[in-house]
């Protein structure tokens, strides 16, 4: 007889059945209170990683739990077009073919991208199916769907109408590899070993010189000033004079600005507004010119004189040579500092001045911040709300344009007079001058500009659909910490502005799943473990259980042990069901019999009900998994099933009927976490009409019994018995339990009852001391003290009876 539970075939079969029978389908006209979650849209190009699997598991628990309680559930799936990531993939291919996107041209590039996606994109939904995620796959949406693009355009036009959208020529994070601007939030700072170069700038009047320190000599060509701290005594007299920039020999003013750190380097800062963010600010405040010497490709540009076209390395060498020749190179020392890199291409970010579209976020951020503060949107864990709040309160303009081709092209058109027309669909004439020769903006939107609309654009917004009416606002959004600003906060802002409501009331921030060595899981580091492989090895139920069990509010290291625990749990459940079902043919489940074992197990399940319900409601998924494990293993299998085993063999009808009823109940609790194995067992139960997946959750408060059976004393006695090996006086029923559960071989043959009893006396005495302490008694609530007293008195009585 095969006694091992094999999830493989079972899970695939149920996944197909559930979907085919439409259990995941959301119908706005169906009965039941709505409950909806929008799955954070994964990148079309992506693969399911551990973080996705964990996040999907937590959301699936919530969805299945609500479905089982009769809610009308929608779990909305879909993909994000991930413009910059997709660019990276396609452009890598082009590079390998010896070409690039500019040679290929925009139209061909976009066409190629669609084609590539058709073939290789969108594999995650299949992986989520394999995990058992109960998404309504028939409603898959994509941020590049026509309808979705219309929503994005509506958003932009709306913001434009509010007067919050503008174009500006500012310094931005430019990625020379991706050839686009990049958001502050997508720049990762890493320590880099550079050289700090001290350079002497002669004064124009020949009266001396001032020295500066720089890590980027090529930017010297773009210097438009030298700045010192206004209170720096060393340089006070130089402010207002002019210095001569080396190599280009340009005369520039020496200005005073408090942003200069007098303690750094020489205390004098060269100002290059074209290539440094701080310098840009200082430059604007002092009305300095903005000179750019490095181009969009990262090479020296036409303003670099004879260095035009040179790489920065070449330029640096030439400039250093020049400085040496002119005796203006004072020092060059190694220097480690943090430098921004593009998160996608890993290229070093080049701060550059370019014209971009911006959104003024101030009025958008205020309601979102207010919602967090007032608790209308609640974060779990709570401190993450504080993090979001801080960001919202220091909100800065959002650069929403990207110089890419894959994405929603910005709906702004320019006429030859330089007027701009913003519209949801292509206008025939300029809104200002009526000219017909219009040219559409070349840029596309930042990916997050479109994903900000996800919870409602997927439901048909801006059309007033029935879906929107029923399922919006959604209930929960669950995601990782790294996109709180990029995504969560922006959904809140867009949701409030466009729909008048926060798009969800709960934000769950799940833990980051790290590799077992504590580093991030990553393919390049070889530290990644694919959920797919884990499911193949252990089953989807075990994987879901394991991920939930290891999750917490902290980052966690992936450890196989938890998954194995899940597999054991599934196997255990499978086997205990076989034990009961083997003898239960034709038996009707019933909870009326009240033998001691039944009473005990009923009480345990009632406690489990409370803990399961409570932990799901408060999003404590690790606690949920723990409660399920203990209830199944310790209570149901080790205690209860062992105790009633002889009666099952005797086909005692009470034991059979009750154990069936209790097993049903246990399956219901386990189903949200381990749907496949529970449904498999459920269908084997006699007289099943409903599916476990739909509304079989115990109602209304789920208690079997109103009163707790009086077995506390037996448990205490059993504990003393177990510890001491002494014999306890028991009535007949109690002895039966003891014989079944506390087996003879559990009693230590060489145990010393006298010493054990002494130890227990000591413990009780310590507790009595506490109760005798006036200050404790004065502070503790009366009923607590009273309860403790009674408990202790009982323990002592039992113990002394035992000893005597």
Partner RNA sequence: GGGCGUGUAGCUCAGCGGGAGAGCGCCCGCUUCACACGCGGGAGGUCACUGGUUCGAUCCCAGUCACGCCCACCA
User: Contact region for RNA (CB under 7 A) — 63-71, 73-81, 200-208, 275-283?
Assistant: 275-283
CA-only gyration radius of the chain, Å: 35
Q: Could you say whether residue 207 binds RNA (CB under 7 A)?
A: no
Q: Does the bond joining 232 to the residue before it have cis omega, within 30 degrees of 0?
A: no
Q: Binding of RNA at residue 425 (CB under 7 A)?
A: no
Cβ proximity to RNA: between 465 and 552 the closer is 552
Tell me 707's DSSP state.
S
Residue closer to RNA by CB (options 164, 562) is: 562
Residue 34 touches RNA, criterion: CB under 7 A: no
162 or 519: CB nearest RNA: 519
- The footprint of RNA on residues 103-162 (CB under 7 A) is none
DSSP for 511-571, please give it. PPEE-TTSSBP-TTTT----HHHHHHHH-HHHHHHHHHHH--SS-EE--HHHHHHHHHHHH
- Name which of 425 and 554 has its Cβ closer to RNA: 554
Does residue number 185 form part of the binding site for RNA (CB under 7 A)? yes
End-to-end Cα distance, the chain: 51
Q: Report the nearest approach of RNA to the CB of residue 428 (Å).
A: 42
User: Which is nearer to RNA, 303 or 568 (by Cβ)?
Assistant: 568
- What is the smallest separation between the CB atom of 4 and RNA, expressed in angstroms? 4
Residue from 745, 782, 783, 804 binding RNA (CB under 7 A) = 745
C-alpha–C-alpha distance, residues 800 and 798, integer Å = 6
Q: Which of 168, 184, 426, 432 binds RNA (CB under 7 A)?
A: 184
Q: How many residues bind RNA (CB under 7 A)?
A: 86
Q: Which of 124, 492, 576, 667 binds RNA (CB under 7 A)?
A: 576
DSSP track, 309-343 = T--HHHHHHHHHHHHHHTT-EEEEEEEEEEEEEET
What is d(CA 607, CA 601) in angstroms, rounded to the nearest whole number? 10
By CB under 7 A, is residue 311 in contact with RNA?
no
Query: Which residue lies nearer to RNA by CB, 5 or 247?
Result: 5
DSSP string of 410-475, one letter each residue:
P-EEE-TT--EEE-SS--SS-TTT-----EE-S-EE-HHHHHTTHHHHTTTTTS--HHHHHH-S-S
Chosen residue from 5, 65, 247, 454 binding RNA by CB under 7 A: 5
For residues 160 and 497, the answer to whether their CB atoms sit within 8 Å is no
- Applying CB under 7 A, the span of 24-32, 418-426, 594-602, 626-634 interacting with RNA comes to 626-634
CB of 319 to RNA, least distance (A): 14
Binding to RNA by CB under 7 A, coded x per residue (else -) over 277-306, reads: xx--x-------------------------
Interactions with RNA, residue window 319-358 (CB under 7 A): 337-339
Contact 66, 27 (CB under 8 A): no
- Interaction between residue 579 and RNA (CB under 7 A): yes
- Cβ-contact 220, 197 below 8 angstroms: no
The first and second tokens of residue 471, run together, are 């399922």
Per CB under 7 A, 618 contacts RNA: no
Query: Exactly one of 374, 775, 782, 804 binds RNA (CB under 7 A); which one?
Result: 775
For position 200 contacting RNA by CB under 7 A, the verdict is: no
Q: Spell out the alpha helix ranges (H) of 582-728.
A: 596-617, 621-629, 642-649, 653-670, 675-682, 712-724
Stretches 100-108, 369-377, 383-391, 458-466: which one binds RNA (CB under 7 A)? 383-391
Q: Name which position in 354, 429, 465, 575 contacts RNA (CB under 7 A).
A: 575
**96 versus 778: smaller Cβ distance to RNA:** 778
| Among positions 223, 276, 290, 532, the unique one binding RNA when judged by CB under 7 A | 276
- Measured from the CB atom, the residue of 120 and 189 that comes closer to RNA is 189
CB of 445 to RNA, least distance (A): 20
| 3-state class (DSSP) for residue 765 | helix
CB 71 within 8 A of CB 33: yes
6 binds RNA (CB under 7 A): yes
Question: Which part of the chain contacts RNA (CB under 7 A), choosing from 119-127, 299-307, 586-594, 743-751?
Answer: 743-751
**DSSP β-ladder status, 506-510 and 378-380:** parallel
- Using CB under 7 A as the binding rule, whether residue 417 contacts RNA is answered as no
The answer to whether 780 contacts RNA (rule: CB under 7 A) is yes
Which region, judged by CB under 7 A, interacts with RNA, from 37-45, 529-537, 545-553, 694-702? 545-553
Closest distance to RNA from the beta carbon of 66 (Å): 25
Q: Which residue has the tokens 């009409």?
A: 689
- Beta-carbon contacts of 115 under 8 Å, excluding residues fewer than 6 positions away, are none
Task: Please give the Cα distance from 75 to 492 (Å, whole number).
Answer: 19
Q: Say which residue the tokens 């909870």 belong to.
A: 591
562 binding RNA? (CB under 7 A): yes
Touching RNA, residues 514-533 (CB under 7 A): 514, 516, 518
Element (H, E) at 669: helix 653-670
C-alpha 60 chain-centroid distance = 15
Closest approach of RNA to the CB of residue 227, in Å: 8
CB of 349 to RNA, least distance (A): 11
- 763 is a site residue for RNA (CB under 7 A): yes
CA distance 467 to 565: 40
Q: Decide: is 20 part of the binding site for RNA (CB under 7 A).
A: no
**What 3-state DSSP class applies to 211?**
strand
Instruction: Indicate whether 387 belongs to the interface with RNA (CB under 7 A).
Output: yes
Among 56, 225, 468, 637, binds RNA (CB under 7 A): 637
Residue 644 as a binder of RNA (CB under 7 A): the answer is no
Q: Which of 362, 743, 794, 797 binds RNA (CB under 7 A)?
A: 743
Task: Confirm if 294 and 300 have CB atoms less than 8 A apart.
Answer: yes
Query: Cα separation of 549 and 673, whole Å?
Result: 10
Would you say 129 or 490 has its CB closer to RNA? 490
CB of 396 closer than 8 Å to CB of 359: no
Q: Of these, 309, 626, 702, 709, which contacts RNA (CB under 7 A)?
A: 626
DSSP tag of 506: E
Please state the closest distance from residue 131 (CB atom) to RNA, in A. Answer: 19
Residues 646-675 that bind RNA (CB under 7 A): 649
The set of residues, in sequence order, having a beta carbon less than 8 Å from that of 83 and lying 6+ positions away, is 402, 404, 406, 407, 444, 445, 446, 447
Q: Which is nearer to RNA, 23 or 761 (CB)?
A: 761
d(CA 656, CA 660): 6
- Residue 778 Cβ vs RNA, minimum distance, rounded to whole Å: 9
Which of 202, 265, 411, 503 is the binder for RNA (CB under 7 A)?
Answer: 265
Minimum CB distance to RNA, residue 575 (Å) = 3
Residue 231, SS3 per DSSP: coil
Q: Which residue has the tokens 């009876």?
A: 801
Contact 235, 224 (CB under 8 A): no
Q: Which parts of 462-491 interact with RNA (CB under 7 A)?
A: 481-482, 485
Instruction: Tell which residue, 557, 560, 563, 547, has the closest CA to residue 514.
Output: 557
Question: Is residue 211 at the binding interface for RNA, with CB under 7 A as the rule?
Answer: no
With CB under 7 A as the contact rule, the residue among 370, 431, 770, 792 that binds RNA is 770
Per-residue interface string for the shown chain with RNA, residues 221-260, x marking contact by CB under 7 A: --------------------------------------xx
Site string for RNA, 684-723 (x = CB under 7 A): --------------------------------------x-
* Whether 44 contacts 78, CB under 8 Å: no
DSSP label at residue 42: P
Rounded CA-CA distance 480/51 in Å is 8
165: which strand partners?
359
């Amino acid at each position: 007889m095969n006694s091992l539970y094999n999830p493989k075939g079972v899970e695939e079969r149920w996944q197909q059945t559930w979907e085919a029978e439409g259990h995941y389908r959301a119908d706005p006209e169906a009965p039941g209170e709505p409950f909806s979650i929008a799955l954070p849209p994964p990148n079309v190009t992506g693969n399911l990683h551990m973080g996705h699997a964990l996040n999907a598991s937590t959301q699936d628990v919530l969805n299945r739990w609500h479905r089982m309680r009769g809610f009308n559930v929608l779990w909305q799936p879909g993909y994000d077009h991930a413009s910059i990531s997709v660019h990276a993939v396609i452009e890598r291919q082009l590079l390998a073919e010896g070409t690039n996107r500019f040679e290929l041209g925009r139209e061909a590039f976009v066409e190629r991208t669609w084609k590539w996606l058709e073939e290789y994109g969108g594999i995650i939904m299949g992986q989520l199916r394999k995990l058992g995620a109960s998404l309504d796959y028939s409603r898959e949406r994509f941020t590049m769907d026509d309808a979705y693009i219309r929503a994005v355009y509506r958003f932009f036009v709306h913001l434009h109408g509010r007067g919050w959208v503008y174009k500006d020529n500012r310094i931005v994070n430019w990625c020379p590899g991706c050839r686009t601007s990049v958001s502050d939030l997508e720049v990762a700072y890493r320590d880099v070993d550079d050289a700090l170069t001290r350079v002497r700038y002669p004064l124009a009047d020949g009266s001396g010189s001032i020295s500066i320190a720089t890590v980027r000599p090529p930017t010297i060509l773009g210097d438009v000033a030298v700045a010192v701290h206004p209170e720096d005594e060393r340089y006070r007299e130089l402010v207002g004079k002019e210095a001569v920039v080396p190599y280009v020999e340009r005369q520039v003013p020496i200005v005073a600005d408090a942003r200069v750190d007098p303690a750094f380097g020489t205390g004098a800062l060269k100002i290059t507004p074209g290539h440094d963010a701080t310098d840009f600010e200082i430059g604007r405040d002092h009305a300095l010119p903005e000179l750019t010497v490095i181009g969009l490709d990262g090479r020296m540009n036409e303003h670099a004189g004879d260095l035009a076209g040179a790489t920065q390395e070449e330029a640096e060498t030439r400039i250093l040579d020049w400085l040496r020749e002119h005796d203006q190179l004072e020092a060059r020392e190694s220097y480690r500092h943090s430098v921004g890199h593009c998160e996608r291409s890993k290229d070093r970010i080049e701060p550059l001045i370019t014209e971009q579209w911006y959104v003024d976020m101030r009025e958008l951020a205020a309601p979102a911040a207010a919602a967090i503060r007032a608790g209308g949107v609640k974060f779990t864990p709570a401190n993450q709300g504080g993090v979001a709040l801080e960001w919202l309160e220091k909100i800065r303009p959002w650069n929403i344009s990207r110089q890419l081709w894959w994405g929603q092209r910005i709906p702004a058109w320019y006429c030859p007079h330089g007027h701009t027309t913003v519209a949801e669909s292509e206008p025939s004439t300029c809104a200002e001058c009526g000219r017909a020769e219009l040219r559409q903006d070349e840029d596309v939107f930042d990916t997050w500009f479109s994903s900000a609309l996800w919870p409602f654009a997927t439901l048909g917004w801006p059309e007033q659909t029935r879906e929107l009416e029923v399922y919006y606002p959604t209930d929960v959004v669950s995601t990782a910490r790294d996109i709180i600003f990029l995504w969560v906060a922006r959904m809140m802002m867009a949701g409030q502005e466009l729909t008048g409501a926060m798009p969800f009331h709960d934000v769950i921030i799940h833990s980051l799943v790290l590799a077992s060595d504590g580093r991030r899981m990553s393919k390049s580091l070889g530290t990644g473990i694919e959920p797919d492989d884990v499911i193949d090895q252990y089953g989807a139920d075990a994987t879901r259980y394991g991920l939930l069990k290891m999750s917490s509010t902290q980052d966690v290291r992936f450890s196989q042990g938890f998954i194995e625990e899940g597999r054991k749990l599934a196997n255990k459940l499978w086997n205990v069901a076989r034990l009961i079902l083997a003898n239960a043919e034709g038996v009707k489940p019933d909870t009326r019999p009240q033998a001691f074992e039944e009473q005990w197990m009923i009480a345990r399940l009632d406690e489990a009900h409370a803990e399961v319900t409570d932990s799901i409601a408060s999003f404590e998924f690790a606690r949920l998994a723990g409660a399920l494990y203990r209830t199944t293993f310790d209570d149901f299998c080790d205690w209860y099933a062992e105790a009633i085993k002889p009666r099952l063999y005797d086909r005692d009808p009470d034991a059979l009927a009750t154990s069936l009823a209790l097993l049903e109940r246990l399956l219901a609790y386990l189903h949200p976490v381990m749907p496949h194995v529970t449904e498999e067992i459920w269908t084997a139960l006699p007289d099943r009409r409903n599916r476990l997946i739909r509304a079989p959750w115990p109602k209304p408060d789920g208690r079997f019994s109103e009163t707790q059976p009086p077995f506390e004393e037996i448990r205490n006695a059993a504990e003393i018995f177990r510890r001491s090996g002494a014999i306890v006086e028991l009535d007949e029923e109690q002895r039966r339990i003891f014989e079944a559960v506390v087996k003879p071989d559990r009693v230590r043959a060489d145990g010393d009852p006298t010493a054990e009893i002494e130890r227990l006396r000591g413990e009780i005495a310590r507790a009595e001391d506490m109760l005798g302490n006036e200050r404790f008694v004065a502070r503790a609530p009366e009923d607590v003290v009273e309860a403790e007293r009674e408990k202790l008195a009982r323990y002592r009585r039992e113990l002394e009876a035992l000893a005597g």
